[in-house]
Amino acid sequence: MTVPPGSGTALFTDRYELTMVAAALAEGAAHRQCVFELFARRLPDGRRYGVVAGTGRLLEALSEFRFGPADLQLLARVVDADTLDWLRDYRFTGDVDGYPEGELYFPGSPVLTVSGTFADVVLLETLALSIYNHDSAIASAAARMVTASAGRPLIEMGSRRTHEEAAVAAARAAYLGGFATTSNLAAGSRYGIPTAGTAAHSWILLHDDELSAFRSQVAALGTGTTLLVDTYDIRRGIEHAIEAAGTGLGAVRIDSGDLGELARQAREQLDALGATGTRIVLSGDLDEYAIASLRAEPVDSYGVGTSLVTGSGAPTAGMVYKLVEVDGRPVSKRSSAKESRGGRKSALRRFKPTGTAVEEVVHPHGTAPAAGPHDRVLPVPLVRGGAVVDGAADLGAARERLRAALVAVPWEGLKLSRGEPAIPTTFHTE
Amino acid sequence: MTVPPGSGTALFTDRYELTMVAAALAEGAAHRQCVFELFARRLPDGRRYGVVAGTGRLLEALSEFRFGPADLQLLARVVDADTLDWLRDYRFTGDVDGYPEGELYFPGSPVLTVSGTFADVVLLETLALSIYNHDSAIASAAARMVTASAGRPLIEMGSRRTHEEAAVAAARAAYLGGFATTSNLAAGSRYGIPTAGTAAHSWILLHDDELSAFRSQVAALGTGTTLLVDTYDIRRGIEHAIEAAGTGLGAVRIDSGDLGELARQAREQLDALGATGTRIVLSGDLDEYAIASLRAEPVDSYGVGTSLVTGSGAPTAGMVYKLVEVDGRPVSKRSSAKESRGGRKSALRRFKPTGTAVEEVVHPHGTAPAAGPHDRVLPVPLVRGGAVVDGAADLGAARERLRAALVAVPWEGLKLSRGEPAIPTTFHTE
């Protein structure tokens, strides 16, 4: 297959991965069998769980990880000719195991295990971390918001607050996290996520008055549409909305002010006008705490933007990608505070007979501790000999997996307040 | 020109922009002449200035903003057939004026002004905001780090902590902000930014011992390379480094521990070994405050990752895109706290004869206040009739512009501590 210049994912890579490959090829160490592990040393401050996300995107990016002609031209300034030849033919041919997408993770969970020659595997470091650190940060924030919303649907509408490509990945991670829809059309196109939208204040301001704006929107989009009622006076806005659409109006959106108080007033007013089926959509700087505080109010759905796409205070998951094994020998860094555990690892999660999770057990690969009937081995095969395992990238399955995993979290683990991880991680040694 | 399916930038757009266009086409309001303004209501908490970034990327994305066949197929589920026909031929044919890239902005600065028909201009809302909110957030953080580094070069190495495409834009914004180099190869390829890199701990762990790892790196990459000395014991690491490379070694990197103390010890040891020209590179969770605290230490350069790509606490610039004028008539939202100033605006910055900035004056377009000989009109033409103005996307010029703009900031405005904007914004009315 010919790769068009610069269209692949191989340059989403730190320069030092390439110079390490060059040096390793020169001396021969490039071909040593290595295992790298992707994991989080800790959760973001006070968080009680993390959500594994990005698996599907990584597996897709892996198949496009090729050095095309334009890439090689650039790299001629970075590495020697022998390395260029090696890169020209590069395909990942190793194995990947990992927590399936949508699974929970805790400090030290071996989220991803990548095996192959040093050169094969080190090249994927930057891309794998970029994808997992971004997507897991967003999915973890999304899951908290979904918990806070107590069953009311959430619309992801944060595209404008983050990089345009990150926005598409954020919409995907939010959907994985339980959001109902996204405003992002590219996410709809690429991942089949349901899209949704209302109207902007500019729509109202474009018209001579609010009533004309509403009439025009209803004429074009039907009475099921959502009218934005807070451009001028909300009470008048709701009157105009029902005047334009009738009592069958789909929804009104309120984007500013004291949202709880305004929702109550809007509900009363709508009901008094006979629009008892018209829903109320709230938006405007909502995060999981604001959503939780609106639980008692007559809200039908929430639009969430900034806080979702910025991970609600934790914009990166802080995962690392560490060499843990060389030719079957465990290796680890030994200086200072950032100590790592050497050796390839696996993990299982222990559950009570009631289905509640109690412990994450991380253990050396191949020496699994006795597992009870309710316990679950966490890593699954994702890539074998460079080929993606069937079903490993299924977004719908990941969404369902997370929903089920959260049901099994002890109730304290779902609290929004800062605290310890929902379950402890126990490290077994050989 | 034929657009390959889905390769353009047009789907980086919220669904409601498209449904508003559909409704506006149906009633005719789509063709009203409109002016939208992109601006920040406030700076991130405690920040004293913002850096305009993303202009070059937006102008490039604008030329690829076309709805291709695959896009239209998706949009057939969102809008009617007439709208699809209109989208098929869509090219932005309006005008864009704005602060040049690299210029400073303050609350209310009219950073970008987009003029054309409603349909033409509203479609760009999401993409313009995504690019400006991301890139300006990163460039603003970068500029603070560069100030804190007091002339020592900074290496951007945060790719692994953010979305893989956002990483490339972040490297660009960091370079604009004054960073010397980036680890990101795609940024080197796309924008010609100088790339740099050292080696990872995995490089050391791949080898039987540290000395072999260093020898192999020096053999392949030369004595000018940077050796990572903190995998085991730093003092032994430096001994090994000089043993492997000789006293002509380029640099050592320390990535963990008490960086100031370790830099002092390393400098003493290197000097005692005769490696007086070997540089010391520090990395490991550095932000502008950590960099400033290392000012008295013998550090030669810094590697910065997480804090850079996450905007050091402000991952989005919080800019908005608001309709301010319809057919020459000023418009603005009137409810609640989020009030806006209607009407197309321009701005000038006032300076003392010494060159120090004193005030940002935002005024109605076409009614400029008297400008002194030292004052500067801020917006420049960026796009005319859909065509990008020559030189508007020059990254090198933007970098130089920011450097000059920061020289003119009052000294309190460069403090890292939280405070008021470096200069006040004054709003003139007609």
Give the tens place of pLDDT for each residue, B256-270: 999 999 999 999 999
Task: Give the list of residues 6+ apart from residue A5 with CB closer than 8 angstroms, or none.
Answer: A68, A69, A70, A71
**Would the pLDDT of B3 be above 50?**
no
Q: How many domains are contained in chain B?
A: 2
CA B174/CA B182 separation, integer angstroms: 8
pLDDT score, position B338: 57
Same domain? A343 vs A296: no
pLDDT score, position B346: 97
pLDDT score, position B8: 87
pLDDT score, position B224: 97
Given B278, B296, B312, which residue is the final one in a domain? B312
CATH assignment at residue B129: 3.20.140.10
Same domain? B162 vs B308: yes
User: Nearest C-alpha of chain B: how many angstroms from A357?
Assistant: 30
User: Nearest C-alpha of chain B: how many angstroms from A26?
Assistant: 7
B316 lies within 8 A of chain A by CB: yes
pLDDT score, position A335: 65
**Would the pLDDT of A417 be above 50?**
yes
**Would the pLDDT of B335 be above 70?**
no
**Would the pLDDT of B4 be above 90?**
no
- For the segment A115-174, what is each residue's pLDDT rounded down to a tens digit? 999 999 999 999 999 999 999 999 999 999 999 999 999 999 999 999 999 999 999 999
**Would the pLDDT of A113 be above 50?**
yes
Which has the higher per-residue pLDDT, B341 or A363?
A363
The length of chain A in residues reads 430
How many whole angstroms from its chain centre is CA A236?
A: 40
Over residues B206-231, the mean pLDDT reads 97
Q: Which of A400-404, A410-414, B332-336 has the lowest mean pLDDT?
A: B332-336
Domain contains B10: no
DSSP H or E segment with residue A164 = helix A164-176
pLDDT score, position B217: 97
A195 lies within 8 A of chain B by CB: yes
Same domain? B57 vs B173: no
Same domain? A178 vs A113: no
pLDDT score, position B153: 98
Interface of B with A in 340-359 (CB under 8 A): none
Single pTM value for the model: 0.97
Cβ contact, residue pair A205, B18, below 8 Å: no
Same domain? A306 vs A328: no
Over residues A399-425, the mean pLDDT reads 97
| DSSP three-state, residue A275 | coil
Which has the higher per-residue pLDDT, B27 or A4?
B27
pLDDT score, position A339: 58
Domain contains A8: no
Domain contains A198: yes
Over residues A217-228, the mean pLDDT reads 96
User: Nearest C-alpha of chain A: how many angstroms from B358?
Assistant: 30
Given B263, B288, B312, which residue is the final one in a domain? B312
Q: Would you say A423 and A413 are in contact if contact means Cβ atoms under 8 Å apart?
A: yes
Segments forming the whole domain that contains residue B120: 15-137+314-427
% of chain A surpassing 70 pLDDT: 97
Task: Give the list of residues 6+ apart from residue B112 with CB closer than 8 angstroms, or none.
Answer: B37, B38, B39, B96, B97, B98, B99, B128, B132, B382
pLDDT score, position A231: 95
User: Nearest C-alpha of chain A: how many angstroms from B391?
Assistant: 24
CA B222/CA B200 separation, integer angstroms: 17
**Would the pLDDT of A336 be above 80?**
no
The Cα angle at residue B341 between residues B340 and B343, in degrees rounded to 5: 130
ipTM of predicted assembly, 2 dp: 0.96
Best of A182, A225, A335 to mutate (most B CBs within 10 Å, chain B): A335
Domain contains B145: no
**Would the pLDDT of B430 be above 90?**
no
Cβ contact, residue pair B163, A163, below 8 Å: yes
DSSP H or E segment with residue A278 = none
Over residues B139-146, the mean pLDDT reads 98
Same domain? B226 vs B285: yes
Predicted confidence band of residue A2 (pLDDT cuts 50, 70, 90)? very low
Rounded to the nearest integer, the mean pLDDT of chain A is: 95
B126 lies within 8 A of chain A by CB: yes
Same domain? B157 vs B302: yes
Same domain? B269 vs B329: no
Of B9, B74, B333, the CB nearest to A205: B333
Q: Which of A287-301, A327-341, B126-140, B234-248 has the lowest mean pLDDT?
A: A327-341
Domain contains B296: yes
Same domain? A92 vs A183: no
Q: Would you say B38 and B112 are in contact if contact means Cβ atoms under 8 Å apart?
A: yes
**Would the pLDDT of B205 be above 80?**
yes
Same domain? B272 vs B294: yes
- For the segment B12-64, what is each residue's pLDDT rounded down to a tens digit? 999 999 999 999 999 999 999 999 999 999 999 999 999 999 999 999 999 99
Domain contains B8: no
Residue B168 with chain A: CB contacts under 8 Å: 12
- For the segment A152-168, what is each residue's pLDDT rounded down to a tens digit? 999 999 999 999 999 99
Cβ contact, residue pair B13, A310, below 8 Å: no
Tell me how crowded residue B93 is: count the other CB atoms within 10 A of its CB: 13
pLDDT score, position B339: 58
pLDDT score, position B334: 78
Over residues B327-344, the mean pLDDT reads 81
> In 3D, which of B235, B270, B268 has the Cα closest to residue B251?
B270
CA B349/CA B359 separation, integer angstroms: 6
Same domain? B288 vs B298: yes
Predicted confidence band of residue B1 (pLDDT cuts 50, 70, 90)? very low
Domain contains B3: no
Given B275, B296, B312, which residue is the final one in a domain? B312
**Would the pLDDT of B2 be above 70?**
no
Same domain? A161 vs A289: yes
Domain contains A74: yes
User: Nearest C-alpha of chain A: how many angstroms from B277?
Assistant: 23
Cβ contact, residue pair A15, B162, below 8 Å: no
A165 lies within 8 A of chain B by CB: yes
**Would the pLDDT of B75 be above 80?**
yes
- For the segment B384-415, what is each residue's pLDDT rounded down to a tens digit? 999 999 999 999 999 999 999 999 999 999 99
pLDDT score, position A5: 42
**Would the pLDDT of A1 be above 50?**
no
The pair of structure tokens assigned to A152 is 């009311």
3-state helix, strand and coil shares in percent for chain A, rounded to the nearest 5:
40, 20, 40
A164 lies within 8 A of chain B by CB: yes
Q: Which stretches does DSSP call E strand in B11-135? A: 33-40, 50-51, 95-98, 104-105, 112-117
Over residues A378-394, the mean pLDDT reads 96
Q: Which residue of A has its CA nearest to B181?
A: A15
**Would the pLDDT of B5 be above 70?**
no
pLDDT score, position B73: 92
CATH assignment at residue A175: 3.20.20.70
